[in-house]
Structures are given as C-alpha cells and as structure tokens.
Amino acid sequence: MSVDQPVTVEVGLGDRAYDILIGSGLLSRAGEEISRRLPGTRAAVVTDENVAAAHLDTLKAGLEKGGIQPTVITMPPGEKTKSFAHLEEVVDGILAARLERGDVVVALGGGVIGDLTGFAAGIVRRGMNFVQVPTSLLAQVDSSVGGKTGINSPRGKNLVGVFLQPRLVLADTGVLDTLPIREFRAGYAELAKYGLIDRPELFAWLEVNWQKVFAGGPERAQAIAEACRAKADVVARDEFETGDRALLNLGHTFGHALEAATQYDGARLVHGEGVAIGMALAHRFSSRLNLASPDDAARVETHLRAVGLPWRMSDIPGELPDAEALLSFITQDKKVSRGALTFILTRGIGQAFIAKDVPASEVLSFLRENHPASRKAG
C-alpha cells in the first residue's frame, strides 16, 4: 500500500482544535501520528468483527511501530450495537485495560463504531482522549467531524450521547477500496450534501469528477477533504447545535422518515440512500414552494441518478406507508422543536437554509403528490 503525503484539514475549535489527516496508507502510520500528539499514551482499539477481519492487523502493526500495544475490544457489526448493553461492554473493556484519563480510545470502523466508541471515551473517567479511524466513506465525511457521539434508544436513534471532539482523525482513503459499492455510494450522498448546503463549486466539481472519486485517485482524498472542511466550517460556527448546524440535516428530515417507514431495513434503504432521496425531495419541495428553481431540483436528481443512488420514493423496493403515515414519522423526528416543523430548504444549489414553521399541510400535499402510490394511480 502506497503512503502518499496526506491532506490535513484543521478543525478550528479553540482548545479543542484537531487535525483530520486524509490519504492512503494512514493505518500504517497511526502509532507515529498518535504518539507525536499524545506522547507516552496507552490505547484501546474498539472495532467490529467485519472491520477487524479487514483492517485490524494493519492498524495494530501501525500502532506498534509507534510504540503502542493496544487492547482490542471487538463488537458485533450493525446498528444494533449502538445500545446501552454494548456501551457498557466497551466501557468495561476500557476500564479492564486499566487505561487512565490521559490515555486514548481509538475507534476503527464506520459510523456505528465511531458513535459508540466516542460515547464510551466521553464517559470513562468523565472523558478520555479519542481518536477516530473511520473506515467507511460516510464516516470519513460525516461522523469524523463534529464531535457527536451516541447510541440509540428504543424511542429513537441517537437520542443518548455526548459531544466529544476527537484529538485526531485518520481517514485512510485506501481502506475504502474494500467497501461494497452500495455502501460507497451511500457515503457519497453525504459528501454531495456539502456541495448542496453551501459549496456550489464542490457540487459542480463532483458532477464532472465523481467517477474519479469512486475510482480512488487523488480526487478521492480531495473530495473528502473538501467535505470535511465544509462540515468543520459549520461546526465551528455552532459546536453544540443550537443554530446553523441544523443545515447539516439537509435531506435528513425526509430521509429519517423513510428510514423509519422501512423499519431501518438496510436491505431496502440504508441511511445514505435515505439522505439521497431526502435531498432530492428537499430540493423538489423548495421548488414547489417557489423558493428554488425546478432546474436545480432536476440537476440534483440527475446527479444522484448518474452515480447510481436512489433519488425518489419509488426507488425504494417494497410498499411504503401512505403520505399521512410518512408525515407522522416526520413529526416524531427529534428535529421538531416544540411542535413546529423545522425543515432545511434551499434557494438553489449551495443555498440551503433553515426554515422554521413549515406548515404540515404543505408537507402532506407534497408527500401525496410524490408518493409512488399516487403516481401509479395517476
């Protein structure tokens, strides 16, 4: 595996500032990069069985080269691992290794492992050092920036957690070559999202260069770095999600409702696919409200379709609940503030904004018009 000079994105959060290194071969340099920042540290690595099989040996060798002999804690793969029971297991594993507050907990995996491990690192001894080694494209562009950690509750996803900024993120773009294409595409939806929020030039660049991002050339690291920079900008403005940060939920209100409506069945819809459809719907809805041009909505749909992502509700296999039921999933969503419907809408590509008090009746009509059942009927 070649080791190119990685791209560094600095996340500026005052005394919690940290670097994201993005490039191929970073797993092998993990020990060196961690020891340079946290000399003399000991470490626990938390991962899942699938990622362990593919990448744990490489990471361990990389840590050992930097003088770190990690304790390894392996979880089952999948969203169900974001539970209180597994949180307790990880916490106990870290304590069993007798790590102290100045030592480091490393998350090696996708979003599930990153969220669970960050939460554990945030609560053992009231906060240890945390290093992310995201192994999915989604985790590299999304969860590696922002400091959100957490688990799910039977009452909803990500309802329990802490804000914890990592001390370092190592986004090894080489590991993405082993991702199934469907998972890569789902992560790509979140990458494109940053273009749609406030970087129209990123979206335009992706329209031209997306195939190189998928193929794994230097364009891949470049695109990931640009998405991380975009997210870091938003997070730096609003670390604890009291305002602007809600922009990151572009596509997520519709997307979460569709995930819930399909019972989080990954065979039908994974998170990034829900976000892809959600972004297309948010643009189409904005156009219907005369906020944005229908041409922009069409451009988004065309690009999502080109990369092979679903972009409309009828792309989801199987039956969907009706529009009323979809609306009720939206009103149950945690982004509903004191009963009012808050949406991320847009005035065009790269011009997303937070719209409060969106009338539920408008959402319902829109869902009816775009529902696969109504299309078949009409």
Instruction: Name the residues annotated as catalytic.
Output: 126, 148, 190, 231, 241, 245, 249, 252, 256, 271
Closest CA to 175 of 224, 137, 119, 229: 137
Paired tokens of 11: 């996340």
Paired tokens of 160: 């329990």
Q: Is 115 annotated as a binding residue?
A: yes
Closest CA to 29 of 130, 167, 170: 170
Find the shortest distance in angstroms from Cβ 184 to a copy of itself. 29
In degrees, rounded to 5, the angle at the alpha carbon of residue 250 between the alpha carbons of residues 20 and 173 is 30
Q: Which amino acid is at 140?
A: Q
In degrees, rounded to 5, the angle at the alpha carbon of residue 240 between the alpha carbons of residues 134 and 235 is 55
With beta carbons less than 8 A apart as the criterion, state whether 183 and 137 touch.
Answer: yes
Q: Is 136 annotated as a binding residue?
A: yes
* Cβ distance to a copy of itself smaller for residue 160 or 355: 160
What CA–CA distances, in Å, run from 269 to 186, 264, 375?
10, 7, 20
Give CA 350 to chain center in angstroms.
19
* Cβ distance to a copy of itself smaller for residue 147 or 251: 147
Find the shortest distance in angstroms from Cβ 227 to a copy of itself. 22
Find the shortest distance in angstroms from Cβ 215 to a copy of itself. 37
If one counts every other C-beta atom within 10 angstroms of the C-beta of residue 364, the result is 15
- Alpha-carbon dihedral sign for residues 286, 289, 293, 297: positive
Find the shortest distance in angstroms from Cβ 87 to a copy of itself. 8
Q: Which amino acid is at 75?
A: M
With beta carbons less than 8 A apart as the criterion, state whether 97 and 44 touch.
Answer: yes
d(CA 254, CA 281): 7
Paired tokens of 291: 């906020």
* Cβ distance to a copy of itself smaller for residue 91 or 358: 91
With beta carbons less than 8 A apart as the criterion, state whether 352 and 250 touch.
Answer: yes
Q: Is 113 annotated as a binding residue?
A: yes
* Beta pairing, strands 129-134 & 43-48: unpaired
With beta carbons less than 8 A apart as the criterion, state whether 345 and 255 touch.
Answer: no
| Residue ranges in contact with a copy of itself by CB under 8 A | 84, 87-88, 91-92, 95-96, 100, 119, 122-127, 148-150, 153-156, 159-163, 240-241, 334, 337-338
* Cβ distance to a copy of itself smaller for residue 119 or 188: 119
The one-character DSSP state at 359 is: -
Q: Is 135 annotated as a binding residue?
A: yes
d(CA 259, CA 257): 5
Find the shortest distance in angstroms from Cβ 97 to a copy of itself. 11
Paired tokens of 56: 């744990």
Q: Is 73 annotated as a binding residue?
A: no
Q: Is 322 annotated as a binding residue?
A: no
Find the shortest distance in angstroms from Cβ 162 to a copy of itself. 6
* Cβ distance to a copy of itself smaller for residue 238 or 362: 238
Find the shortest distance in angstroms from Cβ 249 to a copy of itself. 14
* Cβ distance to a copy of itself smaller for residue 167 or 371: 167
* Cβ distance to a copy of itself smaller for residue 84 or 365: 84
Q: Is 114 annotated as a binding residue?
A: yes
Residue list for the binding site: 111-115, 135-136, 148, 157, 190, 252, 271
Residue list for the binding site for Zn(2+): 190, 252, 271
